Structures are given as structure tokens and as C-alpha cells.
Structure 1
Amino acid sequence: MKKRQKLSILVALASAQMAGLAIAETDYLLDELVVTGTRSGALLLEQAGNTARISEQDIDLVRADHPNEIVNRVPGVMVQRGNGQEHLTSIRSPVLTGGAGAGSFLYLEDGIPLRAAGFANVNGLFEVNHEQAGGIEVVRGPGSALYGSNAVHGMINFLTRAPSLDLERQIDLSAGPHDLYKGKFTVSDTVGAHGYRFSINGTTDGGYTNRSNNPGVISRKAGYDQQKMTFRHDYTGEIDSFTTVFSATNLNQETQGYVPGKRSYRSSRDSRTRFSNSYRDAKATRLSVRWDREVSDRATFSLTPYMRHTEMEFLMDFLPGQPVEKNRHTSAGLLAAYDIDLDGGHRVIFGTDFEYTRGRLSEEQFNPAQAGFLPGLHYDYKVDATVVAPYVHAEWQLAERTRMITGLRYEFTRYDYDNRTDEGRFGNNFRPDDGKDRFHNVSPKLGLVQMLTDEMSVFVNYARGNRAPQTTDLYRLRSQPGLDEARAGRANSEKMDSIELGVRRLGQGLQYEVTTYYMKKRDYFFRDSNNDNVNGKTEHYGVELALFYPLSEQWDVAANVTFARHLFDFDYLGANPVNPLVGPTNISDGNYLPSSPRRMSNIRLGWNFLQNSRAELEWVHVDRYYVTESNNQSYSGHDVFNLRAFHSVNQNLTLHARVHNLFDTSYAERADFNNGDFRYFVGERRGLHVGLTYSF
């Protein structure tokens, strides 16, 4: 078996065992081995480009109820929580919405996309079992040539937890404010060449906010119930290795939605009440089998067939008229790769990704007409999608301490669109005729890594991110009455060129990574604050810092800091909206994109106060940001502190607790501006969560 493959397997198994060891006895080093950049184990110091890894130990310490609590520990990342499990994402970008928010970020499980290209979901993170993952890797900016559509601004790869070497059984129970209860169970073992892990968890949340403020009307909480399951089986032979993963999630949510009104999040009454009948029901299942065969001492062949199915129904309370959307898609795919080591320390990976998807979407409004949204069936269409993407990834050892990384990916995407209702305009909605759309995208990559010492390297990296349009951007057009299809906007393949320069140091003592980047994007297709489609250009640049420093045997500090500017690179004056009190969208070249704070930080002070015990104080800072394209309205930002700790009573019992929003700050998880008014997803006030973990 190849040394690199053995290293990946041994590290995965060892990390599963390390999760039960005392954190006080570890150094909390940044991970030296990452998998996302090459789809197999690789040394971080030799990577041209950034890859941040959240360890299994951090996942168990944070015990996140929402994905943003764990992934926001990475610089350049801000996932804004909506109500319940909803969210919007920013990775080296503003917080993006609609098709841009769905299509600009690639969410993966063990390197396989959670959703099909063209059928992404802005809330895609609630379809993965992050609570029981074995690690999370985040790439900021365009991905390597090994990954395709949606890896434009970044990608998040959730690694399933590997089987344990010995029998492991564990149950975890926790309780929090507003009737929040969670239970987790896992069982794992390895017998001979076979290892398995079965993990399941369930959450019920009574709801932080009410859903009615009408006098005399009984209020209902905006809570949710969610269940997740992951089963993994590993077989490791002398020549062949197999990893089988089956995942399933279910969400039933009563959604409160935005709270309207300027600074309403500061009012203890207004911030927690709003009349709404919104809901979201979603299911997702995935099955994959990865087969690795050692062809020779230097070459490995990998084949990964997979299947997925997702379906969702929800009330679109963020649109006038509040229509109901139903969507689903089913996919079958195959990842094939041939990995070979050459003389002189060189390495080449040849591969091809295939995927076929059948999807359907309908949207129907039952409420009276409002702002151009008419009652009745807005959309009902089917799309068959085919993606074929050959690629090559090569690493060249130019000198003893100099390594060059190159890559090229060609991706062909075809959509066969079938409209199942009348073509043409229906109020603010425009239904295209039946048709076929084809997109050809080429993504090059070129990077250089220079080792300065055994613990420090510098890198420069150029990459292009491409994505075919989301199917909703092509076939669910919106514009005001009187505008033709061309004025409504036409989505093209989005392209972004990125160059970054960085230095990183790993090893004992001070560890850090400092990266600066510049990115320019074309064919950015988005919906403005008046709900019109716009196509334009943007530019992005910033500096990111990730740092860890052990102050002593007991104390350590970690800091992730981001300085960024995300700007429009074009001028635009929109049409007068239906609402006469709202002016047209006015974009000037150089304006900040909405929801793009210039500074963000996550700073943590850790204390190993006893053996097998740890506490952490976390400071989350979000700077002021604009909420309109014209930069005339803004949200003031916030500072929130969280405290968490755990104590291992013995080998079998661990107690854990955390306090969210320690100083009871009034803040908004998300602020925006739509149709002339502020809207907020309100941040929760101070709350205590307690729980225990029992191993047997």
C-alpha cells in the first residue's frame, strides 16, 4: 500500500482515538495533514493556497447547535444564522443570497458535493451531520482543479468520523434555553480489516421567538425538530480499500422569519415577535462507496460512485405574497481518479467527474396580490442536468525546497428544461420557453510553495473559479411588469480570478498563517433589494490572519482576524419599483456590496484548568456593514462573547456547559434591507446550555 494512503488511514484512526484523550495533554497544534486539496492526505506546509482545518476535538468542545458556531472559527468566513437552522454564507465574499448564495459555495461530505451543481441551496449546511463529524476543512477562494461548480468563493468539506480502533459506545445529552434538547449516540469498532461507525442525533427546539404579535391571537413558538444519521464502514486490505458512507437528515421547522423595522432587534418585545405562518420541511439522503486500489507502489486508482436525493417545501415569507416553493432532485454520480508518484518527487492526478440529476421545482401563491406577486401558480418546471468534468492536477518538485502545483479542469454542463405551465409573464414572474442550455467552463490553477524552514513556508497561488448558473437563475426570472426578458436579466457562467500570497508556520510554539488576496468576478448575477435581477462585476481584496500561541502549559490563545473589502465594479440604476415609497436601486462603481463588514474576528482564550478539563472564552466581532447597494443604510455591527467548558469526571463521564452571549448583548445575526424597510434575524440573548457525555 502506498505510504501516502497508509498515512491518511492511520491519521484518521488515530484522530478518532485522540478525541477521548485529555485536551490538557495536547498542544492544540494546527493540523499538518489535510485532504481537501488533493482528495487524499497531503502536508499543509506543501499546499499552494489556504486550507483551514477544524479538528475533531474542536467539534466536540464547541458542540454547535448551528453550523455557524463552528465554521465561523475560520478567518474570512461568516455564516449568518437565520431562524431555526436557516443560514446565509460568506467566504471571502459578502453574505450572498438567492442563486448567488447557493451557487458560490461548495459544500461537501468526504469530497462529494451535498447537492448537485445547479440545484444548490443557500441553507445547504443543515443537510450534513456537522455535530458528529471527524473534521471540517475550509478552502477560502476558488478551489483546486479537482473541484468544480460552486467552488467559486470557497468550499467546506465535512469529513465523516473514522471508525475507532476499539469498541466505543457513547451517548451525549444536553439541554438549553427555550426548550432546546439534544441527544447524540455513536457506536464504533474495528475488527480485523473491517471498521464501522454508526452515529445518530436528534434535536428539538421550542423556539427563541414567537410567531404572532397580534392582540388576542395565541402566539406560537418558531422552533424546529431535526434528526441526522451517519453510517460509515471501512475495509482496509493489502491492495483494495473501501469506504462506504450513508447519511440522512430530516428537518421540520416552524420559521419566524425576519423581524421588520429599524433597530427592532434592540427591543425586547419587537425582536421576539412577528406574525408569520412560515415553515420549512426538508429531507436529504446520500450514499457513496469509495474504492481505492493500489496499482503499484507508486500509483493508486480511485473510483467513487454515489447517489443523493433531496426534497424541500417551505413558505417564502421573504417575498411579497409569500408563495410556497416545493423542490426536489435526485442524482447519480461517479468520481474517478488515477494518482501516480513520479521520479524526482513529482505527482500527477488524472480524473473525471460525472453526474446526472433530475430535478423539479414549483412555486404557488395562495395570498392576495402584493407588489406584483399575483396569486396562483408562479412556476412549475423540470430540469435534467448532466455534468462531465475531466481534470489534471500535478505537483512538481523544482528544487529541494521549492514545489509548483498546477491544475486544469474542463467542465461541461447541460440543462434540459421543461416548463410545465404557461410561458411568458405572470405578474413579476417571467417563465421562459422550453429549451436546452449548455455551459463550457475551464478552471486553471498555478501555485508555488517555498519552504523556508522545516516549519515555515510561503506560497503564491492563482486560481479561477467557475460555475454554471443555478437553474433558478435561468428559469425562475423576476422583473417588474413592462420589462422584457432581456431587461429581466440573463445569467451566464460566473467566473472569478483569484491570486493570493501567504506565509504559514506550524510546529511547536507560535503557529500562524497570514494570507492576502485579490479577486475579480464577472457575470455576478444577483437580486437587488427591490427584487430585480442584476448582472454585473465585483472585486474583492483582503488580509486574513489565523494564529495560535500557547501562553503556558495551561493557557493558550487563538485568533482569526479578517480585513476585507468587497466592492461593486460597475454602475447601475434600476427601474422604479412598484412601491412608490421606495426609490430605484442605485449602484456606483466602488460601493461596498451589502452585508460585507470590513473587519471580522474570532478570538479565543483557552484554559486547561484541570487534567481532562478545558474552558474557552470566545469573542466574536462583526464590524459595521451596509445593507443597501447604494450604501445609504447600514447595520452597526456587534461584539458577542461566549463561554464554554467541559470536565471529565472519569473515563466514562464528562460534564459540559456553555453560556451563549455572556454579556446579554442585543444584536442581529443578520441585517438586510428589502422593499424600503430593515429586516433582522435577531440574535439570541444570554442562555445556558448544560449536558453530559457517557461512554460505556
Structure 2
Amino acid sequence: MKNLHLLHSLWLAPAIAVVCIQNTLAQVIDITNVRINPTPEGLEIIFDGNIDRNLEVNQRVEDNRLILTINNARLVGETIEIDNPTPGLDFLRVISTTENSIQAIVTGDTKAPTVDTIQTEGQLSINIVVPRIAEEEVEIIELVVTAEKFAENIQDVPLSITAFSQGEIEDANLDSLNSVANNTPNFSFFSAGGQSRFFSTYTMRGLSNNNFLSRDTVGFFVDDIPYDYTGFLDIDLIDVERIEVLRGPQNTLYGRNAQAGVVNIITREPSNTFEGQLSARYGSFDERSGTIAISGPLEPEILFFRLSGRLEARDGYITNTLTDEVIGSTSGGNIRGKLLWLPSEDWEIAFNSSYQDYNNGDPTFQLIGQSDLFAVNQDFIGFNRINSNDQSLKITYDNDNIQATSITTRRYSNQEVETEADFSPVDLFTGISDVNSTIWTQEVRLQSSEEAENLQWLVGGYFESRLFNVEADGLRYGTVGAQTLGLQPGLDRTSAELDQTTFALFGQASYEPIEALTLTAGLRYDTTNIRMDRRRNYEVDGSSVEIPFGMTFDDVETDSSALLPRFVIEYEFNPSALVYGSITQGYKPAGLNFRAESDDVLVIGEERSWNYEIGVKTSWLDNRLIANLAVFYNSIDDFQVALQDQRGFIANVANAEASIFGVELELKAEPVDGLDLIAGFGYTDATFDRFFNPFTGQTLDGNRLPFAPEFTINFAAQYRAPWGLFARVGLNTLGSYFTEESNSIFQGTVTTVDATLGYELENYGIYLVANNIFDTRYLTSGLILPGGNVGSYNDPFTIGVLLKASF
């Protein structure tokens, strides 16, 4: 019986199917016309035809696309395609997908639009609503970084990173590394010698360049060109598109190894349309500056250029009570040129060049504890002259399967300084320094396409040649000072040539074994060779006589190498929540000490660290709130410690064991349209675990590392009104820190406040800019000297008017 029923059903099935198909075809409605009308909320799509009943409309969302399927209808006529049908929408397509259905696909700029109402009374009318996203919120959503050499949303990068877009850079007036540090957790930048750019000390996660005799702990890059050495870092940042601050060791993706982190600065690219920007500023201490940038095509779609430059001058604010004059005036500027050539769809060739020249006046230092922190009493007025130039050639080949990059760079920098060194009105001695550096680098990278889904990889090679010349380093003795030592007036001059060569191979691969889970492994092999010739002589004024005055080292050499792994695991709970953990080995190669006066301090031993980090990155309330947290621990072996000699010079080097524990928290919020709140907090417990100073006999276990603030706080509130008002207030707090290893010179917690008030039109703006409103003073350097401890302090309160224009 069951078999008979089955045969009966099979026999009837074709007939039933034919009847159903005939009925379905009979019910299909022809759409003879489609009208697109803009509305205040977005647009309206009206389907006309013989619509005698309600049509079924299904909807779904894929990324930033809204897909509407209209059943039992077909489009009579051609497919409709419209680019940018209304602000906020990229594309609209209406097409017949089958004989009895129509699809309308609406693509939003950043988000999928929504459907407000669907009416089906005689005609089908669909109202499309464009999501109203504030300008600054869009910027957060689309903030793309190349920190890991692939363009990706900052929230998808599994490391602690702070990035600033072009708009954020302009709003916060980020025109120096100091201003960048003031807006970044666990990154501090101190400029010694007042406003003279004499000597820059920075700290990232408790690691500083206090040992400037060795390799920098942070990698600074401007358009892929490495910047280094303490006297060459305090630069003006102009025409910048993006700044990325990566905390933690970076050794498997960057050509130059960086132990504490990377500051990656990307200037604006040449454009295919003519455009330009102008700005001018006048303020306290007769400050005047002007900036210009212009860009456009030399051959449309193929060859483009960009030129930018800045000139500035400013009077000093330090009073020399001996002569009753104000000293420390500065002047200078820089210029940058860029060419971009696109010979074909797959090739991109970029050439960049820049030149900087500054005459920064006298680097000034005061006795710590004196009542007037901006006064000196000295017989000599010094100078600090800095000039540099750099060039780079970047060639990129990029197709659907692979990307190849070649980067060739050269940078020359020179600093000439002479400054008061006895800090008195007596002609005892002055300090001199004349150094120059020439760096050539070649980096080659091969990497997978950015569209690769489950496996992304990168391999590269790096070569660096660095010639560091010390033309003069020492003391110039005046009449009284020379007589004290039984000498004739003259120069105690150290000179040296250091030739450093670095080779490295590096690579990293990220694999997604299952959806949402990514495993990353990287490895770097780094080898460095340094050769040095060094001598120290006393040169009598007005004579060719040179008297040996210290150690001479001829053709000394040291080698160091390391194999540096990195492991990362990340899990994406959803598009708005990512958790990650990483283990990375950090490394600073061995070096040679050009100030060494004995074999014991000639070689600077290599420094190694293991770095552990876990972090969480989240976004909330449709990206109106971003909250990121990172916790890290570093264990450092053979930590390089620079120490003062009996003259007060940083000339001795020892090694220690150290550890660092820290936390970083960053928040960004837009509670209402136009109002942005930005906050960052960093905590660092950076201490010597075991350290015995062999030159003073001190045991310094438990002391804090130099220039490592216990915490940092940055906060900014900014409002931009639709009718043109712009207002911003920013706060920066540095927790307590010490300026040297014995923890004798202490700076307590300090807070500075900056503010900007302006009015903006479409292409113009005028602003009142105030820095350090409450005139807070804090140490930016501190040294222990036989005659008393000396230091320098931050800039005082300043106020100025800033004009901006674009065309």
C-alpha cells in the first residue's frame, strides 16, 4: 500500500510543478520605470508598473551594502547603475536577478544605509536613509595605519599603538616630537638646553636614550628615512599626513631594529589635483613662523609633485644677569620635496628629499634650586647650529598576488655646539661638540597581497652603513681655567670616526587557522660591526702644537649578532572586540664608546630583553567610543647605563639588570556630534634589579631608571560647531621621575595645560593658541657636577595667533 501511494505521488509531481510554475509566472509584475529622488534623509526609489498588490521585499546587509530583493517582479529595461547618487552613498544598482525577482543594491560610504519605510499602495516606494556619522567619527572608523606594513584599521593591529590622522595632527597642533609625546601614553620627550634643540632625551615604556653613546632605543622614521642621535631629533613636523607610535620591540617588520618602539611619521603625498595650504603664526617672545605646501600633477594620473616648507624665528626668554640681556633666540627652517610617478597600474616610484637648517642660540642650564629658573650669570654666550639633508627612493610593485618594495635612503646631519660649561661669570671653560653622521640604508621587502585572507606574510632584508664623525668633543679652556690646570689657553679635543655596518634578515607570517583566530610568528637575524679610531689631544690656542691628553684607540672593532623571535596570538570576538598576547625579544647591539678613557669602558656590551604583552581593543556604541588596554612586562639583561666621569661628562658605561612593568589605557569618545574626548593613561614601574656602579662604588638595586616617569596622563576635549567655532583644551601630566641613575635629582609630578580657540570657514581659519597656560616648570635635564647640580627647564607660558588657509 505504501508503495502505491509513493508511485501515485511521483506520478502527480510533474503536473503539480507545472501548475505552480504557471501560477507563479502569472503573478510576476513588470516594473516599467524606476525613479530615484533625493530626500533629506537620503533618497527614495520608486518602482512604477502594474502593481495591483503588495510586493514582498527582503533585506540584508553585507559590510557597507544594503541588499533589497523584491520577489514576484521583474525589471523591464536596462540595469540601472548610479555612482554617488547622494552624499553618504557610493553606488546604487537596480537589476533583475531572475525571471521573478529584482535586486536593489545600495552601497554606503562607510556604513550600510537603512530602510525607513516601504510603501506598496499602487506603486512600490522605498526610502533609503543614509547613516548620519559625524566627521570625526568617520575619521576614527577609517583611521588606517601601516604599522605592520599592511594597510589595516588601527583597531585590528595586535599591539599597543597610538596613531594620529591628518585632522588630529592639525587640531592638536602636533608640530614636534614633544607635542606627539604629550598626547601618547608612556612616551615622553625632553629637550635639554631650553629651546635650543641642543640635546633630546626621550623615554618609551621606561627605556630612554640616556646612553646616547650607543644605538637609539626607539626607531624614528620620516617617510622611511631613519632619524637618530640625540642632537638630530628635535625637528619640526610639517605637512604631515599621519603619525604612528608603536610601543614595544619592533624587529620583524622594520629594516632598522628598535628595542622600545617606533615613531613612524608619514608626510602628505603628492596629489592629482592642484592644492595648497598656508599658515602663519605670531606670538610670545616675538615668535613668527610661516608654512606653505603646494601639490599637483606634472602629468595628470601619472606624475605628481609636492613642495612644503617652513621658516621660523623666536627671541629667547633666558636673562643673562651678568650683561642684562636676553639670550637663546632661535631661527631656521626646512623644505621638503616629493615626486610620485605611476608608470603603470602595478608600479609606484616615489622620490623624497628634505633640507633643515637651524641656528638655535645658546643652550642654557641653570643651577637646580635657584629662585629664577630662567636666569643665568655667565661670561660666554654660546650657539647651537644644526643642519641636515636626506633623500629616499621607494619603488613598489603591487599586483593581486604579491607586493615588492625597495627603499633606498641617505641622511646627513651635522651639529656644532659651544656652550657655557662652568656656569659662572669667570672665564674658566666652555663645552664644545661638533659631530656629523651619514647614514645609507637599503631595504627590500616581499609580502603577500593585502587581500590575502588566511595567510599574510612578509620577508625582507636590510643593510645600513653609518659613518659617525666626532670632529671635536671636549672643553675649551680660557685664561683662568687653563692657569688653574697649569696649561696655556686651548682646546681639550676628542675626535673619533666610527664606521658601523648592519645586515639583517627578517620576516613574519600571520595565519588564521579558524575564523577569528590569528597566529603570528616572526624572526629576525641582525648582525652589526663597528670600527673606531679615536684620539684625545690638547691644542694650544694660536699654535699647531697638539699634546696627547688622553687615550688613543686605533682601528678597534666589535661585533654583535642576535636571533630575535616574535610570537602573537589574537582572537576577534566580533568586529568590535579583539584580544591579543605577544612575546618578543628586544635587542640593542654592542657599541664603541668614543669618550672612553680606558679599555674597561671602551666596548658597550649588547643589551637583550624579553617583552610580554597582553591587550584588549574594543569599540562601542557604533564606534562612538574606543577603549584599548595593554599590560606589559620587560625583563632586561645587560641594560646599558651611561655614567658621568669626574669632569661631569657622560663618558663611562656599565651594565645592569632591570625590569619594567606597565599599563596603557586609551579612550576616544564622541558623545555628541562635534564633541571629541580623548584620554590616555600610562603607568611604568622601571627599576634596576641589580646594579653596582663600579666608578662610585654605589649599589643602586631598586633605583628607578633615568627619565622614566611613573605615569603619564593625556586628556583633550575638543568641540567643532557646524557654524565655525573650534575649541580645544588639552592636559598633559608627567608622574615623578629622576634624571640620573643614582636618583639624586628628582622631579615631582607636573601638569601642563594647552588651549586653542578659533573660528573656521570652509577654507580658512583663525585661532588663538596658548601653551603651558599655568606657566608650569619642570626639569628637562639634570646633571651632577662638582660645582653643583645643573639642569634645564621646559618652555614658559606662550600665546599666539595662528592663521590657516587652503586652496
Q: Which interval holds the TM-score relative to the shorter structure? A: 0.7 to 0.9
Aligned to 2:524: 409
- What is the Cα deviation at residue 520 of structure 1? 1.6
Q: Distance in 2 between matches of 1:658 and 1:434?
A: 53
Aligned to 1:505: 618
Query: In 2 relative to 1, CA 694–611 (structure 1 residues): closer, same or farther, beyond 3 Å?
Result: same
Q: Distance in 2 between matches of 1:695 and 1:558?
A: 27
- What is the Cα deviation at residue 257 of structure 1? 2.1
Aligned to 1:107: 220
Equivalent residues in 2 for 1:219-258 (5 A)?
219-236=325-342, 237-258=344-365
- What is the Cα deviation at residue 194 of structure 1? 2.4
Aligned to 1:305: 408
Q: Distance in 2 between matches of 1:272 and 1:182?
A: 26
Q: Distance in 1 between matches of 2:748 and 2:741?
A: 16
- The residue matched to 1:436 in structure 2 has which SS? strand
- What is the Cα deviation at residue 53 of structure 1? 0.7
Aligned to 2:636: 521
Aligned to 2:97: none
- The residue matched to 2:496 in structure 1 has which SS? strand
Query: In 2 relative to 1, CA 497–611 (structure 1 residues): closer, same or farther, beyond 3 Å?
Result: farther
- What is the Cα deviation at residue 162 of structure 1? 1.7
- Out of 457, 461, 476, which is 1:348 matched to? 457
| Between 596-605 and 335-344, the greater mean CA deviation after superposition | 335-344
Q: Distance in 2 between matches of 1:621 and 1:679?
A: 23
- Out of 254, 258, 283, which is 2:387 matched to? 283
Query: In 2 relative to 1, CA 144–94 (structure 1 residues): closer, same or farther, beyond 3 Å?
Result: closer
Aligned to 1:693: 804
- What is the Cα deviation at residue 184 of structure 1? 0.2
Q: Distance in 1 between matches of 2:154 and 2:142?
A: 5
Aligned to 1:554: 674
Query: In 2 relative to 1, CA 627–429 (structure 1 residues): closer, same or farther, beyond 3 Å?
Result: farther
Aligned to 1:655: 766
Give the percent of matched residue pairs that are identical in Structure 1 and Structure 2.
18
Q: Distance in 1 between matches of 2:312 and 2:134?
A: 30
Residue by residue, what CA displacement relative to the aligned partner does 1:120-144 show, whole Å, maximum 9, x if unpaired? 31143334x5132111111112114
The alignment of Structure 1 onto Structure 2 pairs a total of residues equal to 642
Aligned to 1:175: 282
Q: Distance in 1 between matches of 2:321 and 2:630?
A: 47
Verify: 1:193 aligned to 2:308, yes or no.
no
Query: In 2 relative to 1, CA 92–148 (structure 1 residues): closer, same or farther, beyond 3 Å?
Result: farther
Q: Distance in 1 between matches of 2:741 and 2:562?
A: 29
- Out of 438, 443, 460, which is 1:335 matched to? 443
- What is the Cα deviation at residue 68 of structure 1? 0.7
1:249 partner amino acid: Q
Aligned to 2:14: none
Aligned to 1:481: none
- Out of 492, 495, 511, which is 2:608 matched to? 495
- Out of 158, 173, 188, which is 2:265 matched to? 158
Residue by residue, what CA displacement relative to the aligned partner does 1:465-517 show, whole Å, maximum 9, x if unpaired? 222245xx433225xxxxx522x363122222211111112461210211110
Verify: 1:603 aligned to 2:715, yes or no.
yes
- Out of 419, 428, 435, which is 2:556 matched to? 435
Residue by residue, what CA displacement relative to the aligned partner does 1:222-262 show, whole Å, maximum 9, x if unpaired? 02112111112222331211121111111111123221132
1:160 partner amino acid: T
Residue by residue, what CA displacement relative to the aligned partner does 1:536-576 show, whole Å, maximum 9, x if unpaired? 1211111011111112223331111111111012131443x
Aligned to 1:11: none
Q: Distance in 2 between matches of 1:163 and 1:319?
A: 50
Query: In 2 relative to 1, CA 221–343 (structure 1 residues): closer, same or farther, beyond 3 Å?
Result: closer
Residue 54 of structure 1 contacts residue 136 of structure 1 at CA under 8 Å; is this kept in 2?
Answer: yes
- What is the Cα deviation at residue 661 of structure 1? 1.8
Q: Distance in 2 between matches of 1:358 and 1:224?
A: 29
- Out of 696, 703, 710, which is 1:591 matched to? 703
1:300 partner amino acid: Q
Aligned to 1:466: 587
Residue 211 of structure 2 contacts residue 640 of structure 2 at CA under 8 Å; is this kept in 1?
Answer: no
Residue 599 of structure 1 contacts residue 623 of structure 1 at CA under 8 Å; is this kept in 2?
Answer: yes
Query: In 2 relative to 1, CA 304–571 (structure 1 residues): closer, same or farther, beyond 3 Å?
Result: closer
Equivalent residues in 2 for 1:672-687 (5 A)?
672-675=782-785, 677-687=788-798
Q: Distance in 2 between matches of 1:357 and 1:594?
A: 27
Kindly report the root-mean-square deviation, in angstroms, between the aligned alpha carbons of the 2 structures: 3.0
- The residue matched to 1:178 in structure 2 has which SS? helix
Q: Distance in 1 between matches of 2:754 and 2:453?
A: 50
Verify: 1:324 aligned to 2:445, yes or no.
no
| Between 383-392 and 623-632, the greater mean CA deviation after superposition | 623-632
1:446 partner amino acid: F
Residue 24 of structure 1 contacts residue 608 of structure 1 at CA under 8 Å; is this kept in 2?
Answer: no
Q: Distance in 1 between matches of 2:536 and 2:301?
A: 58
Residue 169 of structure 1 contacts residue 695 of structure 1 at CA under 8 Å; is this kept in 2?
Answer: yes
1:502 partner amino acid: G
- Out of 569, 572, 580, which is 1:451 matched to? 572
Q: Which has the larger radius of gyration?
A: 2
Aligned to 1:534: 654
- The residue matched to 1:75 in structure 2 has which SS? coil
Q: Distance in 1 between matches of 2:187 and 2:421?
A: 24
Aligned to 2:253: 146
2:639 partner amino acid: Y
- Out of 497, 501, 505, which is 1:386 matched to? 501
Residue 208 of structure 2 contacts residue 217 of structure 2 at CA under 8 Å; is this kept in 1?
Answer: no
1:605 partner amino acid: A
Q: Distance in 2 between matches of 1:157 and 1:557?
A: 24
- The residue matched to 1:26 in structure 2 has which SS? helix
- What is the Cα deviation at residue 440 of structure 1? 1.2
- What is the Cα deviation at residue 205 of structure 1? 1.3
- The residue matched to 2:234 in structure 1 has which SS? helix
Residue by residue, what CA displacement relative to the aligned partner does 1:571-602 show, whole Å, maximum 9, x if unpaired? 31443xxxxxxxx4634322212332212101
- The residue matched to 1:166 in structure 2 has which SS? coil
- The residue matched to 2:179 in structure 1 has which SS? helix
- The residue matched to 1:518 in structure 2 has which SS? strand
Residue by residue, what CA displacement relative to the aligned partner does 1:355-378 show, whole Å, maximum 9, x if unpaired? 223332122432236999996343
Aligned to 1:92: 205
- The residue matched to 1:659 in structure 2 has which SS? strand
**Where do 5+ consecutive residues of structure 2 fail to align?**
1-108, 110-132, 424-428, 539-546
1:195 partner amino acid: F
- The residue matched to 1:589 in structure 2 has which SS? coil
- The residue matched to 1:254 in structure 2 has which SS? coil
- The residue matched to 1:130 in structure 2 has which SS? coil
Aligned to 1:205: 314
Query: In 2 relative to 1, CA 193–343 (structure 1 residues): closer, same or farther, beyond 3 Å?
Result: closer
Residue 364 of structure 2 contacts residue 419 of structure 2 at CA under 8 Å; is this kept in 1?
Answer: no
Q: Distance in 2 between matches of 1:156 and 1:373?
A: 49
Aligned to 2:418: 315
Residue 222 of structure 2 contacts residue 266 of structure 2 at CA under 8 Å; is this kept in 1?
Answer: yes
Query: In 2 relative to 1, CA 543–600 (structure 1 residues): closer, same or farther, beyond 3 Å?
Result: same
2:797 partner amino acid: R
Q: Distance in 2 between matches of 1:66 and 1:38?
A: 24
Q: Distance in 1 between matches of 2:578 and 2:717?
A: 27
Query: In 2 relative to 1, CA 326–28 (structure 1 residues): closer, same or farther, beyond 3 Å?
Result: farther
Aligned to 1:41: 151
| Between 376-385 and 635-644, the greater mean CA deviation after superposition | 376-385
Aligned to 2:232: 124
Q: Scaled by the length of structure 2, what TM-score is found?
A: 0.74
Residue by residue, what CA displacement relative to the aligned partner does 1:583-637 show, whole Å, maximum 9, x if unpaired? x463432221233221210111112244444211111111222345343542222
- The residue matched to 2:168 in structure 1 has which SS? helix
Aligned to 1:57: 167
- What is the Cα deviation at residue 51 of structure 1? 2.1
- What is the Cα deviation at residue 150 of structure 1? 5.5
